[in-house]
Amino acid sequence: MELNDLDLSGKKVLIRVDLNVPLNEKFEITDDTRIRACMPTIKMILEKGGCPILMSHLGRPKNGPEAAFSLEHLSEHIEDLSGALVTFVDDCIGPRAKGVAAALQPGMLLLLENLRFHPEETEGDIEFARKLSELGDVYVNDAFGTAHRAHASTSVIAQFFPDNKYFGLLLAEEVANLERVLSTPESPLCAVIGGAKVSSKISVLESLLSKIDHLMIGGGMAYTFIKARGGQIGNSLVEDEYLDTAISILEQAEIAGVEVHLPTDTIVADDFSNDANTDLCEIDEIPDGWMGLDIGPESITRFVEVLRNCKTILWNGPMGVFEMSHFEKGTKEIAMAICEATANGAYSLVGGGDSVAAVNKYDLGDKMSYVSTGGGAMLEYLEGKDLPGVIAIRS
C-alpha cells in the first residue's frame, strides 16, 4: 500500500523532509527548491485530513542549538506555500513537542526544530529515534537528499512504524526516475559527468560503464584525464594520485564499448578570477601559468552533436566554472543541448548540487525531464549502493 491509498483523517504524520536550504545574512531563504519539492506530499496529507509534522536538519551546527541554523526561519514561507497554519516548536523531542503534536487538528502543520541540534541524530541513536517516533502515528520519508545517511530520522526511526512507514511522493519519484535510467533506459544513453574531482566520481563512472553508450567528461576532472594521456595542462586542477585511475576508466570504457568524449579545447585563464586574462588553446597544450576553466567551442560543438542523437541523458556536474560569466558558456550550452534533446523526445535526468544550480541559474528546470533534489544520494544510488533511507521503508 502506498501513502496515497491511506485514510489519514486525524492522523499525525511524521515526515522527514529536506529543508536544508541556503539562507543569507538576514536569514532569508535564497533558494526554496527543496521546500517546494516536498510540498506535494505535505499538501496531499493535509487534503486527506492528516496533520503533517515536519522534521529536518539545516546546515551543520556543531555545538547544539544555534540561532543561525534554526528552522524557525523557514516557518513563514512553509505556511505561505502549504496554506496550512504552521506552529513551530523549539525542539524536536520532549514534552513540549509531544504536547503540541498531540493537540494538532486537521489543517494545521507542526514544524520541529533542527534535528542536528541533537548529536544523536547523526549518530543514528536508537533512543533519540524512539523519542521522535512518539510524535506521530505514521512515518513518511520524503528526504531523498539525506536518504544515503543512516541517521536517526532517516532510517533508524522506521523500525518504530513496522506497519506504518511509507515513501513520500518526492522520494518515490526520485527512485522511480533513477531506476528509469539504470534499469530501463532507451538507447543511446549518454552520461555527462563533470565537476572538480575524479576521486568523487570513480565509483559512479565504473558502475555506469556497463549501462551507457557514451561518456562525456568535462569540468575540472577532465584535466586529470588529459594529463593521464600525456597532455600538458599548465596550472589546471589535477589529481595526480588518480592518473592511473583515469587510464583504467578509459580502458574499461573501451572494453565495454563505451564511446568516451573528452574536451579537445579549453578556455584558459592566468588566474582563478572572472577578471583574469583569458585565451583559447588545445586542452593538451595549456602553457605553464595558465589554467583551464571551461571547455572550448570545438568541444561544445562535438558534445552537442552527441547529445542531439541520444535518447537518455544523465547529467551530473558542470563543464566549467559556470559561476563566473567568462567561464559559463560550456555548461550553459550543454544544458541547452540537453533541453533540446528532451524537447525532441529524449529522457533527461539532472542531479548534483552544481548541476542543479546551473539549471536554476539558466531557468531550465521545466525543460528537463527530471531534476533530482539529491547530490550525494543520487551518486550513491548510481553507484549501486543501498540507501539506508530507502531500505528502511522497504524492509
**In this structure, are residues 344 and 211 in contact, taking their beta carbons and an 8 Å threshold?**
no
**In this structure, are residues 281 and 226 in contact, taking their beta carbons and an 8 Å threshold?**
no
Single residue among 169, 198, 218 that ends a domain in this structure: 169
Q: Which residues of the chain have pLDDT under 70?
A: 353
Single residue among 109, 136, 169 that ends a domain in this structure: 169
pLDDT at 33: 85
> Is residue 71 situated within a structural domain?
yes
Beta-strand pair 189-193/165-167:
unpaired
Instruction: Report how many domains make up the chain.
Output: 2
> Is residue 29 situated within a structural domain?
yes
Q: At what angle do helices 329-343 and 297-308 cross, to 10 degrees?
A: 20
Residue 269 sits in the same domain as residue 160:
no
Cell of 247: 587510464
Residue 103 sits in the same domain as residue 187:
no
In the block, residue with C-alpha cell 569540468: 219
pLDDT at 373: 83
Residue 156 sits in the same domain as residue 240:
no
Distance separating alpha carbons of residues 362 and 328, to the nearest angstrom: 11
Residue 83 sits in the same domain as residue 189:
no
**In this structure, are residues 389 and 148 in contact, taking their beta carbons and an 8 Å threshold?**
yes
Residue 154 sits in the same domain as residue 119:
yes
Residue 203 sits in the same domain as residue 91:
no
For residue 258, the enclosing domain spans 177-382
pLDDT in tens, 66-114: 999 999 999 999 999 999 999 999 999 999 999 999 999 999 999 999 9
pLDDT at 115: 98
Distance separating alpha carbons of residues 332 and 362, to the nearest angstrom: 7
Could you give the residue numbers annotated as active site?
Answer: 34, 197, 353, 376
Is the pTM higher than 0.85? yes
Distance separating alpha carbons of residues 16 and 2, to the nearest angstrom: 16
CATH code at 203?
3.40.50.1260
Single residue among 149, 169, 189 that ends a domain in this structure: 169
Residue 328 sits in the same domain as residue 232:
yes
Kindly tell me the burial class for residue 311, based on how many C-beta atoms sit within 10 Å of its own C-beta (0-12, 13-18, 19 or more): middle
> Is residue 140 situated within a structural domain?
yes
Phi, psi of 198 (to 5 degrees): -65, -40
In the block, residue with C-alpha cell 543501498: 386
Phi, psi of 210 (to 5 degrees): -85, -5
Q: What angle do CA 160, 162, 163 make, to 5 degrees?
A: 130
> Is residue 21 situated within a structural domain?
yes
Residue 264 sits in the same domain as residue 187:
yes
